Structure 1
Amino acid sequence: MFIPKLYRSEDSILMKEIIRENSFALLISSVDKIRATHSMMMFNEDDPENTYIETHISRANPQAKVLQNGDEILCDFLGAHTYISSSWYDHINVSTWNYEAVQIYGKVELMDHDELYAHLEKLTSKYEKFQQCPMMVKDMGKEFVEKEMKGAFGIKIIPTEIFIKQKLSQNRKETDFKNIISHLETSDDNARKIAEKMKLIQK
């Protein structure tokens, strides 16, 4: 991901927020050919000194058939994003897109049985706890869960490089910057979220 200095961030809190709110991300590898799978990901901070991304894909997925310990992989998270019209500037220019994104390169570490079970418990709890009648892994019975687990391929991604990008019209003068926010605030949810992010960085 190309990140001009103006849009580069080192904010780990922002990184975790983007991952948490946009966890259905792309798992990209190039072991035998370029492969990409959308999968649910979680940022594991159980040990703050050894954080990692955890996810799982189907064992029937061709990507699962080639991944091994030590392979390099890329996790791609796209956060809030929206179109920026050039009609919102006080001068002629090109339209663009504002967005937040995180890319994490890392080394594959395959999960063992217990790690995969714990991963599925955490992942299920994250989303089921908001349901009216939550169905947790413990409610399904261990025998059933372990039968279903046979079709899951658990992966930990140990980060080697982390890139955080916030492209929020930082290159625009104040009047255009404020005008962009005004237009975004009257648009859809993603646009309004970008407007809020722009206000946070406003000087």
Structure 2
Amino acid sequence: MFIPKIYRSEDDHLMKEIIRKNAFALLISSENKIRATHSMMMLNEDNPEEIYIETHISRANPQAKILKDGDEVLCDFLGAHTYISSSWYNHLNVSTWNYEAVQVYGKIKLMNHEELYNHLEKLTSKYEQSQKCPVFVKDMGKEFVEKEMKGAFGIKIFPTEIYINQKLSQNRKESDYQNIISNLENSGNENSRKIADKMKSIQIK
């Protein structure tokens, strides 16, 4: 990912926040042919010294048929994003897009049966716990879950490079910056309001 210096972040907390809140991300590999699969991803922080990403895709997916231990993949997470109109500046300029994104390059390790079971258990718990009538893995019965697991291909991704992009109009002067925030807050769009909140939380030079 190309990131101009002004938008580049080294904030690990921001990286984790973007991944947690935008976990349905792209798993990209490039052996022979570029392949990309949208999949649910989770940060595994059991060992703070070796944080990695967990995910799974369908075994029937052509990407699953070629991935093996040690292969490099790219995980692409897009956070909040919104259009920025040039009409919000007090001078002639071009429109643009504000957004937050994380890209993680990493080496993969295929999950064994127990790791995949635990991954599915954690993933289900994360999203079921807020449901009115949650159904957890333990409620499904081990025999049923293990039968369904035969169609899943579990992957752990150990980061080798991490890029954090926080493009929030940091290159604009104060009057334009505040006007952008005002227009975003009044847009009625959830993503726009999220970007406005992020813009209010950072210091521009």
TM exceeding 0.5: yes
Which runs of 5 or more structure 1 residues have no equivalent in the other structure? none
Cα distance in 1, alignment partners of residues 186 and 37 from structure 2 = 34
The TM-score with structure 2 as length reference comes to 0.98
What is residue 23 of structure 2 aligned with on the other side?
23
- Give the C-alpha shift of residue 31 in structure 1: 1.3
What is residue 202 of structure 2 aligned with on the other side?
201
SS at match of 2:90: coil
CA-based RMSD = 0.5
Cα distance in 1, alignment partners of residues 91 and 185 from structure 2 = 21
CA deviation digits over 1:127-166, x for unaligned, max 9?
Answer: 0000011100000000000000000000000000000000
SS at match of 2:176: helix
User: Is 1:105 the equivalent of 2:116?
Assistant: no
SS at match of 2:179: helix
What is residue 37 of structure 1 aligned with on the other side?
37
SS at match of 2:107: strand
CA deviation digits over 1:18-49, x for unaligned, max 9?
Answer: 00110000000001210000000001100001
Cα distance in 2, alignment partners of residues 134 and 12 from structure 1 = 32
SS at match of 1:60: coil
The TM-score with structure 1 as length reference comes to 0.99
Task: State the identity as a percent.
Answer: 79
**Where does 1:161-180 land on structure 2 (aligned, <5 Å)?**
161-180=161-180
User: Is the 1:124–1:136 Cα contact (8 Å) retained in structure 2?
Assistant: yes
After the TM superposition, which parts of structure 1 deviate over 2 Å for at least 4 consecutive aligned residues?
none
**Where does 1:61-76 land on structure 2 (aligned, <5 Å)?**
61-76=61-76
- Give the C-alpha shift of residue 93 in structure 1: 0.2
Cα distance in 2, alignment partners of residues 59 and 112 from structure 1 = 14
Letter in structure 1 aligned against 2:194: K
What is residue 86 of structure 1 aligned with on the other side?
86
Cα distance in 2, alignment partners of residues 161 and 133 from structure 1 = 40
Paired residues, what number?
Answer: 203
User: Is the 1:28–1:75 Cα contact (8 Å) retained in structure 2?
Assistant: yes
- Give the C-alpha shift of residue 202 in structure 1: 3.3
Cα distance in 2, alignment partners of residues 111 and 15 from structure 1 = 24
Cα distance in 1, alignment partners of residues 121 and 47 from structure 2 = 18
